[in-house]
Structure 1
Amino acid sequence: MQEYFSLDWEQVLVGYLEGIFPMGNENGSISWYEADPRAIIPVELDEDNLKIPRSLRQVISKDIFEIRHNSDFETVIRHCAEREFTWINELIINAFSELHKKGYGHSVEAWKDGKLAGGLYGIAFRGAFFGESMFYKENNASKVCVVKLFEILKRNNFLLFDIQMITPHFKSLGAIEIGKEDYFEKLDQAMNVERHFKFI
């Protein structure tokens, strides 16, 4: 896998158009990856695709967390990088922080007692949202953010919610894997519309 020691925000968007995404390496470089099959959460507006467990619905109904949008993007991404094996290095942080400043990068955050309890970040580009990573300090905090994000994408008529690679957590919420041909068909549809990430 070829390594690169530079990454700017425009390269990230071009990569998304080509179906690839950057991941950081331990030596400070990045490499580009293409997931096949690709994991997505369907966001068709005529279906309630997200499978929300009863226990999580109860957490949401109790309003344990205050959900905010873009109040501390860089802290979210740095918390996401705080794990033993991480693909989020300084090149990734800098490029995605710049995407945030340009209006493409978004964080959905769960706050409790004035402290950041969990969150996620990703990129809204045309009719697609590319989910990148999430973290939690309090149980269920990141899961509540996923549910809020899904609601935002549905209400703003996004066509693609790309999570790149499947995990047991996302699978339990209704994520599916699709082949390369199907993915590029959905990506093409999403890139030919304009959508706006409006926090609701």
Structure 2
Amino acid sequence: MSLRPQPRLTPELLLHGYAQGVFPMAESRDDPEIFWVDPRQRGVLPLGGLRISRSLARRMRRGGFEIAVNRDFTGVLSGCADRSETWINAEIFDLYTALHRMGFAHSVEVRHDGELTGGIYGVTLGAAFFGESMFSRRTDASKLAMAWLVDRLRLGGFALFDAQFLTPHLASLGFEEVPRARYRAALATALEQRGDFDAPGAPAPAQDVLQRNAQTS
């Protein structure tokens, strides 16, 4: 992984960075300096390869939660930053909020009894989705968000789900690690296509999400 200091970011420069295969991070919440990150190995998800465990499938069928899209983007961003160590500093928070207003950043949210308990946010360009972060305040809340996010990406014609780094948690969901050159090739192909995050409309019922995932797993 290489880190390069860079000038003050704008939303437009941030999008240009994504198109080149890099993304920004800060060392900590209180560090004002932001770096471009260009991993040698990249975490990606084959969009037909999400692993939904039996326990998660039961939770999805049981219900008791609500899935929403882009209803509370800043709430999800705040939830992702609400941890002892985070790369989301004030400038990054403002940049992604601006990208959301511009229609390039999106969130999938999970609520229990009206309370935001989990979610994921990321950036879209062409048919690529760049997952930035997720959080969970209830068991499996982030996994629920992931299931609905992947379903939405597939329905919206996306070709690439970039998770940046592979973690054991993501690996358990079906994400895999690919070398930089392979990632760049997949990114170039995805940027030539068009994905539509809003095309699927309202979040689908759990049974539909499970059925579509089973058809491609």
Scaled by the length of structure 2, the TM-score of the pair is: 0.87
Amino acid aligned to 1:175: F
Deviation at 1:157, TM superposition (A): 1.5
CA distance in structure 1 between the partners assigned to 2:157 and 2:7 by the alignment: 36
Cα separation, 2, equivalents of 1:65 and 1:3: 42
Q: Structure 2 matches for 1:1-200, cutoff 5 A?
A: 1-4=3-6, 6-26=8-28, 27-43=31-47, 48-198=48-198, 199=201, 200=203
| Uncovered stretches (5+) of structure 1, i.e. residues with no partner | none
Tell me the CA shift for residue 155 of structure 1: 1.0
State the number of aligned residues: 196
- Say which SS state the counterpart of residue 91 (structure 2) adopts: helix
After superposing on structure 2, the runs of 4+ consecutive aligned residues of structure 1 that deviate more than 6 Å are none
Q: Distance in 2 between matches of 1:119 and 1:135?
A: 6
Are the aligned partners of 1:110 and 1:116 in contact in 2 as well (CA < 8 Å)?
Answer: yes
CA drift at 1:137: 1.0
**Structure 1 residues 97-151: Cα deviation after superposition (integer angstroms, max 9, x where no partner):** 0000000110000011111011110011111000000111111111100010000
CA contact under 8 A between 1:120 and 1:146: conserved in structure 2? Answer: yes
In the alignment, structure 2 segments of 5+ residues that lack a partner are 204-217
Offset at residue 5 of structure 1 (A): 6.3
- Counterpart amino acid of residue 134 in structure 1: M
Q: Distance in 1 between matches of 2:96 and 2:83?
A: 18
Per-residue deviation, residues 15-36 of structure 1 (Å, max 9, x unmatched): 1111100001332121110111
- In 1, the alpha carbon distance for the partners of 2:35 and 2:178 equals 23
Q: Percent of pairs identical after alignment? A: 39
Alpha-carbon distance, 1:2 to partner: 4.1
3-state DSSP class of the match of 1:162? strand
Give distance in 2, aligned partners of 1:155 and 1:2: 36
More deviation, 54-63/1-10 = 1-10
Compute the displacement of 1:7 (Å).
Answer: 1.9
Whole-Å separation in 2 of the counterparts to 1:85 and 1:143: 21
1:4 shift after superposition: 4.4
Task: For 1:2 and 1:178, locate their aligned partners in 2 and report how far apart those are by CA, in whole Å.
Answer: 22
Superposed displacement of residue 152, structure 1: 0.5
